[in-house]
Amino acid sequence: MNTSFAKVGASILAATVALSAPALAQNTMVGGAEMLPTNNIVENAVNSADHTTLVAAVQAAGLAETLSGPGPFTVFAPTNAAFEKLPDGTVEGLLEPESLEALQTILTCHVVPTEAFSTAVGNMIQQGGGSAALETVGGCTLTASIRASDNALQITDENGNAATVLIPDVDQSNGVIHVVDTVLLPAA
Domain boundaries along the sequence of the chain: 28-180
Can you tell me the mean pLDDT for 98-119?
Answer: 95
pLDDT per position as a tens digit, 138-168: 999 999 999 999 999 999 999 999 999 999 9
> Is residue 26 over pLDDT 70?
no
Give the predicted TM-score (pTM) of the model.
0.84
Q: Using 50, 70 and 90 to split pLDDT, how confident is the model at 23?
A: very low
Rg (CA), the chain: 20
Decide which of 3.30.70.100, 2.40.50.140, 2.40.110.10, 2.30.180.10 is the CATH code for 28-180. 2.30.180.10
Closest CA to 116 of 69, 77, 168: 168
